[in-house]
Structure formats: C-alpha cells, structure tokens
Amino acid sequence: MKSYLPDGELVHALCQPMRQTLVDEVCAESYLSSVAYANLVVFVAVLFCFSGLSTSAAIGYVFCSSLVFLITAVVGRIARFNQDAGVQFATVLGIIFINEMALVSILVFDVISVERANSIVAAAIVISASFISVHLCARHTVPLFLSKLCVVAACSVFLIYSSTVKVSSSEVLASLMVAFLIMVATGYWIVLRRRQEIYLQVQLQQMKAAADSQNAELVKVLEEKEYSQKRFKDESQLRQKLITHIGHDLRQPISAAMYMLMEMRKKQQGEEQAVLIDDTHECIQSAGRMIENIVQFSHFDDLTIDVKPELIGLNDVLQSLHREYLLAAKNAQCNMRCVATSIVLDFDTELLRRILRNLIINVINHSDATKLVLGVRRKYSGIEVWVLDNGGGLQLDEDETNLLTQNSASGGLGMGIKISKQLAQACGAHLNFYSQQGEGTLCKLAIPESSIIRRWTPETGQSLHTKPSTDITHTA
C-alpha cells in the first residue's frame, strides 16, 4: 500500500484539486489584492503627474480605479462561498482581467485630458506597473496570459494612435512584445513555483496521514501485545499456583503410602513379598520425584524460590542419594560411588537434593556412563560438590539453556541447566558444568564458606577456621 503517489500520478491526480485551491486563494485574497492594486494605482498616478498629466485627471483615475477594486474584492469574497467550480473560475478570471484593465485605464484619462503626459514615458510607467502586478495575478496561466496581452495591446494602440511623440510602429510593437514575453515568463515561473508548493503540501499531508495511520496501528499492536503479555503472565501465575497446590496435595498421599510400605516391609516374612514391596516403594518414589519436577518445571521462569536453610550433614545427603540411585545405576550398567565427608552445612536440604538428584538422573539415563562419582572438594572460598561421570558429555548452548530432559519412565520430566542454576543461585551457591564430548561431564556445585558450619574430618583433624589445602580431600 502506497503512502503517497509518485510525482507523475500526483500531478495528474491533483489537477482539479490544485486548480480549486488556486481559485480559493484568489477569492480569499481579493481584499489584499485590491489594496495592493490601489497602492499601485496611486503610484502610477503620481508618476503620470510628474510626466505632465493634469492633477484632476490623475485624481479621477485613482477614484474610479479604487471603486473598481472595491467591487472586485466584494465579488471575490462572495464567490468564495459559491459551490460551483465553473462560476468560481470565471469570477477569478474576471477579477484578474478587470483589475489589470483598471490599472491600464490611466491611458484613457491621459487621452481625454487637456494636459497630457509624455506618451513614451506613460507607456513605460504602465508596463512597469503591470510587471509589478504579475505576482498578484500569477495563479492561473490563462488569466495571466490574457490580462498581460490586453495591457500590451492597450499600450500599443495608445502609442500608435494617440502618442504625443512620433514613434515607429515596428519599434513600439517590438519593445512591447519583449515586455510581454518577460511578464508572461515571470508570471509563469511564479505559477509553477506555486504549484510545486501545492504538490509538496499535498505530499506532506499524505505522508503525515500515512505516518498517523502507521502510528495508530503501532499503538494498537503495542496495546494488544501488552494485553497479551499481561494475560499470559496472569495465566502463567494461575497455572503455577494451581500446579503447586496440586503437587502439595499429591505429596501427602504419596508420603503416607511410602510410610505404610515401610511398615509392611518391617513385618513381611516372605522374600517375594519383600521384593514386591521394594518395587512398589521404588515406583512411589519415582512418582514423587515426578511431581517435584513438574512443580519445579512449572516455575521455569520464576526466580522467587522459597529457601529454607537448616543444619544438614552433607554426607547423609550424598549417602542417601547413593542408596536411592544405586539400583538404577546398576541396571544402567553404571558403577556409582560416593566418597564420604564430614562437612556440615547450613543449607536447604530439599533444594540440594533436587539439584543433585537431577544431575544424577541425567547421568544414569542419558550419558551412557560406566562410572559415576559423588564427592566433595575443598576450596579457599568454600567447597565444591562434584558429580563426575565418564559418559558421552553434554551438548550445551552458548547460554547453557539446553534442557536435561529425562524419560518420564525413568522418574521425572527433568530439569534444565537454567533451572538447576536458579535453584543453586537461590541458595547462595553456583552450579557450573564442564563437559567434553566422549570423555564425560563434571558438574560442580560451589557452596560458599558462609554456608559451612563444620569441615572437621577424623583423618586430618581440621576445624572450621583451618585454612584448607588445595588438594582434593574427597576424590571425585
């Protein structure tokens, strides 16, 4: 869709509107034109008096011409409110022609006066005044041409038949023809300039209208986008809230079922029943982890994570996860090992388990690793919990937002690296990944010194404030 027409099409499309605009200008400026012509008539009369014309003839000329100008001003004002374009154009043509004839009528007063001006000087004054009035009638080509032609013709007749000085007709015609061409050329140049102004104004109006339309569409699109974003945010918050409540409600019966299975395991007598209970317990545990992952995945972009730090033995967490996934690792032909540690942390137990659990699940289900090690390394700034495997490695994006998606049959929807990082960051830790294709992956959970309550070990006797060594005390 074009915002504005090209120049050629614009000229063709604006012929009638441009003509009407010029007509409206002449009608609207009829008063000003009349005042300008009146001043020009006074100037011409004064010059004629200096050339020998009687004062009474000059005064009569000024009076009659001013009366004509007044009439044309009133007619132009009235024609402005006429709806007929043809009538308006005819009125404009008449106004321009009559004003020019009124200006030239000084020649008639000179002929009938007893005291006459020098004819050559008089003709020069009239031609000069007509040249000055070019800008007053340079709206349309036809009125301009006809009015100036009549002025030149009147001067020619005056000099040939009523001149006080004998002059050659050929010289008169040649001189006046040159003057006519100069006036017409000047007037036509003014007409073209005025039309170009109109073209530019119309183009500017069309461009402004197109810009306003595009701005209105842009505002509408932005409003729709803002509304969509607000609606999506509200729906997302509602969905997250709903999933959180559902997850909370599902955890209770799962916890109860696991407790009953534990009680049944204590009282069972037969080996087959024990295996069945253990399998059922494992399925319920998988279902619980799936619910936790669904709840966490629904908060993928939610950075407001509820952190509840408490005193925990890091070794208890690692050994618990080792026991939990040892069977699954064996089934995947992966040798899982956990290195003991005596470090006590002030940390959120549930979030720590979620982070490490997802890393372990990813290794077991997707890395094709044959070895998996859980351990701790001491650092000057704290400790690092390592999850190290010798699998195929991870394929990470530049921003590390690839999802570590697990098969639902293996116990969860999985978490992306971004979610794991969010959980670690919420606890004041940092999760980093180091991977090489075909050689394995190292996941480091860096926990700061402020979260470490005790790092004493029976082997070394190191206390909380003892400067740690740079060696790996717990091989990962």
Domain residue extents for the chain: 7-214, 305-454
Query: Which regions of 89-174 does DSSP assign to beta strands (E)?
Result: none
Query: What sign does the dihedral 90-92-96-101 (CA atoms) show?
Result: positive
The pLDDT mean for the chain works out to 77
Residue 3: both structure tokens together: 């915002």
Task: Report the SS3 class of residue 235.
Answer: helix
Percent of the chain past pLDDT 90, that is, above it, reads: 14
Query: Which of these ranges, 10-19, 99-108, 146-155, has the smallest mean pLDDT?
Result: 10-19
Percent of the chain with pLDDT over 70: 75
Which tokens hold the place of 342? 């005596």
Q: pLDDT tens-digit profile of 195-230?
A: 788 778 777 888 898 899 999 999 999 999 998 888
- Could you tell me the pLDDT band of residue 417, with boundaries at 50, 70 and 90? low
**Across 41-53, average pLDDT:** 91
Q: Is the pLDDT of residue 426 over 50?
A: yes
Neighbours of 294 (CB within 10 A): 16
Q: In whole angstroms, what is the distance from residue 98 CA to residue 393 CA?
A: 98
Question: Domain 305-454 is in which class?
Answer: alpha beta
35 HSE (CA, 13 A, CB side):
3
pLDDT of 416: 56
Model pLDDT, residue 397: 53
User: Which range among 86-90, 99-103, 311-315 shows the weakest confidence by mean pLDDT?
Assistant: 86-90
Would you state the pLDDT for residue 171?
A: 80
Residue 335: enclosing H or E segment and its boundaries?
Answer: strand 335-338
pTM of the model: 0.44
Determine the pLDDT at residue 46.
Answer: 93
User: Is residue 452's pLDDT more than 70?
Assistant: yes
